[in-house]
Amino acid sequence: MKIKNRPTSVTIQKGQQFPLTIKRLGINGEGVGYFKKQVVFVPGALPGEEVVVQAENIQPNYAEAVIKKIRKKSPHRVKPPCIYYDRCGGCQLQHLQYEQQLAAKRDIVIQALERHTNLEVDTLDIRPTIGMDDPWHYRNKSQFQLGNEKQQVIAGLYGANSHKLVPIHSCMVQHSLTDKINQTVKQVLEDFHIPIYHERKRTGIVRTIVVRAGVQTNHVQVVLITKAEELPRKELIAAEIMKRAPEVKSVMQNINGSKTSLIFGDKTVLLKGEEVIQETLGDLSFELSARAFFQLNPVQTVKLYDEVKKAAGLTGSEKIVDAYCGVGTIGLWLAKDAAEIRGMDVIEESIRDAKKNAEKHGIKNATYVTGKAETWMPKWAKEGWRPDVVVVDPPRTGCDRTFLKTIKKVKPKRFVYVSCNPSTLAKDIQFLSSLYKVEYIQPVDMFPHTAHVECCALLGIGIR
């Protein structure tokens, strides 16, 4: 039954306080409730809680509010162990018991499907979220912004919805090695009196420290993101970093002079050591260059890629396309159980790494090319080569519409979609729904204590 005369815009006033019952978690980990039929988002609130909130941000179709008082607390609420939790913005769910985080992430996937598809979501096979045994210190890469405070160099993250830099000395979701190296690099920059970039004034040189650790190899790569190529005493700085932290095998400089929120620019140069570091997943080892994509949680990556292998349903005779292939991790994970792998990526460095990784493992049935899948797949189809399975692991923006149209034309029997954004996954599923059926969706918790959820979705054409 339709509700008549339902308001079309929010009637809540800024600064207004009112009671609210939280119904669920939103896609950003915030509590969601309704006041006079208007949706209200409340960071830090949990499903089932009765709270008094104050409206802070009023938009045409919703309001954002802050908690003033919790009248009825969720039995799943816990005390966040991190000292930066209420300021940093890097995590959103440390105040929620971990088992409930897993349930909430499955619900976030369901919400996305309900919002962006016309499928009968309650009939779909959406499986319980695969979690971690120890959901801490899992991230193998950090990207800490730099600033100055009381004539000292600080490194950390911007607070939620702000440009106030929160200095972080030890992060509970970062691998301890990245924490250690961040502090070392920060101190070296301070000791060498290197000017730190000021975002508003656009002065200074070094903007960001990127640290990637090979969790299994104990190898570390440091990338200094600078405004311009000029960096005083860069060779000495690199040598000092490696002297103070012997785990560092590679020091790179990336130049990003643009006024942008993107971390990396287009040019990367070697300052000292190797251009790549080594990392191991299962029985595979990988060479990782500065800009190459590699999953941030190696423990969960093994679980995720095993789910991809299950979804691909390999018998040894399949031809596979690994689209958005990065350094070839997924394709190489599948290669020994398939007839042939062909992968592509627009980042040339990634393709170079993928070729090296395949050669190193003696994998001869893998071919990697630079470019887009929507360019290569029609070309291969004209030559008579069509894949049985396409695996895709796109960025948060989802798959390019041209790529999805290509999938509809080439018609692989199985389409295995690895997604880091339930909303774009749902939109892409809807676009393909005229041809493909959702066989199942398996959520995987790659980022405990955050609102992010990864999924392995199997779409098929008559595979049952």
Q: Which two tokens stand for residue 115?
A: 């919002």
More confident residue, 232 or 5: 232
Query: Which pLDDT score is estimated for 9?
Result: 57
Rounded to whole angstroms, how far apart are CA atoms 36 and 16? 13
Query: Which pLDDT score is estimated for 287?
Result: 82
DSSP string across 430-455: HHHTTT-EEEEEEEE-SSTTSS--EE
Token pair 């929620």 in the structure block, residue: 96
**φ, ψ dihedrals at 415, nearest 5°:** -120, 110
Rounded to whole angstroms, how far apart are CA atoms 293 and 277? 13
Query: Span 205-217, mean pLDDT?
Result: 95
Report pLDDT digits (tens) over 385-398: 999 999 999 999 99
Radius of gyration over every alpha carbon of the chain, rounded to an integer in angstroms: 24
With 90 as the cut, is the pLDDT of residue 49 above it? yes
Strands, DSSP E only, in 131-179? Answer: 141-149, 152-158, 165-167
Report pLDDT digits (tens) over 325-382: 988 999 999 999 999 999 999 989 889 989 998 999 999 999 999 999 999 999 999 9
Rounded to whole angstroms, how far apart are CA atoms 29 and 46? 9
**φ, ψ dihedrals at 382, nearest 5°:** -65, -30
Report pLDDT digits (tens) over 55-103: 999 998 999 999 999 999 999 999 999 999 988 889 999 999 999 999 9
**Residues paired with residue 280 on neighbouring β-strands, in sequence order:** 285
Rounded to whole angstroms, how far apart are CA atoms 437 and 273? 49
Kindly provide the b/e burial profile for residues 277-305, where b requires at least 16 CB atoms within 10 angstroms of the residue's own CB. Answer: bbbebeebbbbbbbbbbbbbbbbbbebbb
Report pLDDT digits (tens) over 279-303: 998 888 888 888 887 889 999 999 9
Coil vs helix vs strand at 95 = coil
Alpha-carbon distance values, 381 to 81, 346, 368, 409, 462 (Å): 54, 20, 16, 10, 21
Please give the positions annotated as active site.
420
Count CB-CB contacts under 10 A for residue 151. Answer: 6
Can you list the alpha helix ranges (DSSP code H) found in 313-454? 329-335, 348-360, 373-382, 401-410, 422-432
DSSP character for 304? H
With 70 as the cut, is the pLDDT of residue 216 above it? yes
